């Protein structure tokens, strides 16, 4: 695939009062990509999205969209649209007029407005509700209207600010899949903001994990999950065991003894991470990084057991079949290829 950069965010900084919310952020988005800004509340993800939308001003930096400088334009002149967290539908207009709003403001001929609004309403299966008041819609329907109202304008970029946070858990899971399918079908660039790692993993081509106003790591979901580069990323996406380590000649020394790694660390003292599901119960054959530990607690979690091991505090998931009990001694392996060397 050839790189076709559509959006370039360079050196964006923003403070509210004395709080630095965005700290020299750089990012690049390709055409047709589904990008997710993932992070805890207060990490600056929403502010970055609002700066792209023109609802907030950046203190420094530039954003280029399709070769043109975006920041000098006011929000109403930017060729992109946004789906708001609480949908922000216009309560005095019905579904059709809500969706038609952007087209009418741009003085598009009414006949074309009709065609385009109908087409979009058909696409998201809302045509029968066109004349309803927005107050008569369910949460899921409102969310679709918000999506239609943005997409009907054929934006170069669609911004989504936690669009599923107001939906219940079951509906959210369905909407995620639909959203992903929709994006594929349209081939449009979507930029989504969320604090929900499952959501990010499900929909994204690439995830930008944000923390403290910076992008900690950017990459496809599998890469970010399997190869976290910082403590924050390792712990924010899924569960992780963090192990303090000191570099030695052929590996590292830890509180579990010497461990072998698939690549040498660049630091003298630092941290390793391993996911609970990557720790194996030893099959008996000799293997690197074999440890004998005791199961302190075994918690039944339905599809797996959560096992806490001592000494130390390693957490391991194992299948229900090889049932362990608290107090059992167990031999485990930390496969070197799954021991991730963290940057910090």
| Binding positions for another protein, rule: CB under 8 A | 53-55, 74-77, 81-82, 84-86, 88-92, 101-102, 105-106, 149-150, 153
In the bound complex, what is the minimum distance in angstroms from residue 100's beta carbon to another protein? 10
Helix (H) or strand (E) holding 61: strand 60-65
Q: Which is nearer to another protein, 30 or 97 (CB)?
A: 97
CA distance 110 to 120: 15
Q: Which is nearer to another protein, 102 or 228 (CB)?
A: 102
In the bound complex, what is the minimum distance in angstroms from residue 181's beta carbon to another protein? 24
Long-range contacts of 94-97 (CB under 8 A, 24+ apart): 94/130, 94/131, 94/132, 94/133, 94/134, 95/121, 95/126, 95/129, 95/130, 95/131, 95/132, 95/134, 95/137, 95/145, 96/121, 96/130, 96/131
219-246: string of b/e by CB count within 10 Å (b at 16+)? bebeebbbbbbbbbbbebbbebbebebe
Polymer length in residues for the chain: 344
Q: Which is nearer to another protein, 106 or 269 (CB)?
A: 106
Q: Which is nearer to another protein, 188 or 206 (CB)?
A: 188
In the bound complex, what is the minimum distance in angstroms from residue 104's beta carbon to another protein? 8
In the bound complex, what is the minimum distance in angstroms from residue 48's beta carbon to another protein? 16
Q: Which is nearer to another protein, 16 or 90 (CB)?
A: 90
Q: Which is nearer to another protein, 81 or 194 (CB)?
A: 81
Angle at 285 between CA 281 and CA 290, to 5 degrees: 50
In the bound complex, what is the minimum distance in angstroms from residue 19's beta carbon to another protein? 17
In the bound complex, what is the minimum distance in angstroms from residue 235's beta carbon to another protein? 32
CB count within 10 Å of CB 91 equals 9
Q: Which is nearer to another protein, 92 or 170 (CB)?
A: 92
What is the side-by-side order of every strand in the sheet holding 329-333? Answer: 280-281, 329-333, 290-300, 305-310, 314-318
In the bound complex, what is the minimum distance in angstroms from residue 29's beta carbon to another protein? 18
Structure tokens at 53: 């939308």
């Amino acid at each position: 695939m050839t790189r076709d950069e559509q959006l370039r965010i360079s050196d964006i900084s923003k403070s509210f009062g004395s709080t630095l919310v965005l700290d020299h952020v750089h990012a690049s988005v390709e055409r047709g990509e589904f990008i997710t800004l993932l992070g805890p509340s207060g990490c600056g993800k929403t502010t970055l999205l609002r700066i792209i939308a023109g609802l907030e001003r950046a203190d420094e930096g530039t954003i280029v969209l399709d070769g043109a400088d975006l920041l000098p334009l006011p929000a109403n002149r930017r060729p992109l649209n946004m789906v708001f967290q609480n949908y922000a539908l216009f309560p005095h207009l019905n579904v059709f007029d809500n969706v038609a709003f952007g087209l009418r403001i741009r003085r598009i001929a009414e006949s074309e407005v009709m065609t385009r609004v109908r087409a979009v309403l058909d696409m998201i299966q809302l045509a029968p509700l066109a004349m309803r008041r927005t107050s008569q819609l369910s949460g899921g329907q409102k969310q679709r209207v918000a999506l239609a109202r943005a997409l009907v304008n054929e934006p170069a970029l669609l911004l989504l600010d936690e669009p599923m946070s107001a939906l219940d858990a079951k509906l959210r899971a369905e909407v995620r899949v639909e959203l992903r399918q929709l994006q594929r079908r349209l081939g449009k660039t979507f930029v989504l903001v969320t604090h929900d790692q499952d959501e990010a993993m499900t929909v994204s081509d690439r995830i930008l994990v944000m923390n403290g106003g910076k992008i900690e790591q950017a990459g496809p979901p599998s890469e970010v999950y399997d190869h976290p580069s910082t403590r924050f990323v390792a712990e924010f996406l899924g569960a992780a065991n963090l192990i303090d380590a000191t570099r030695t000649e052929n590996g590292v020394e830890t509180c579990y003894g010497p461990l072998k790694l698939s690549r040498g660390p660049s630091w003298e003292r630092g941290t390793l991470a391993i996911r609970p599901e990557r720790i194996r119960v030893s099959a008996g054959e000799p293997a690197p990084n074999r440890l004998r530990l005791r199961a302190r607690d075994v918690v039944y979690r339905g599809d797996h057991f959560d096992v806490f091991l001592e000494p130390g505090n390693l957490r391991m998931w194992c299948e229900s079949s090889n049932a362990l009990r608290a107090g059992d001694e167990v031999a485990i392996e930390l496969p070197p290829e799954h021991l991730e060397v963290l940057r910090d």
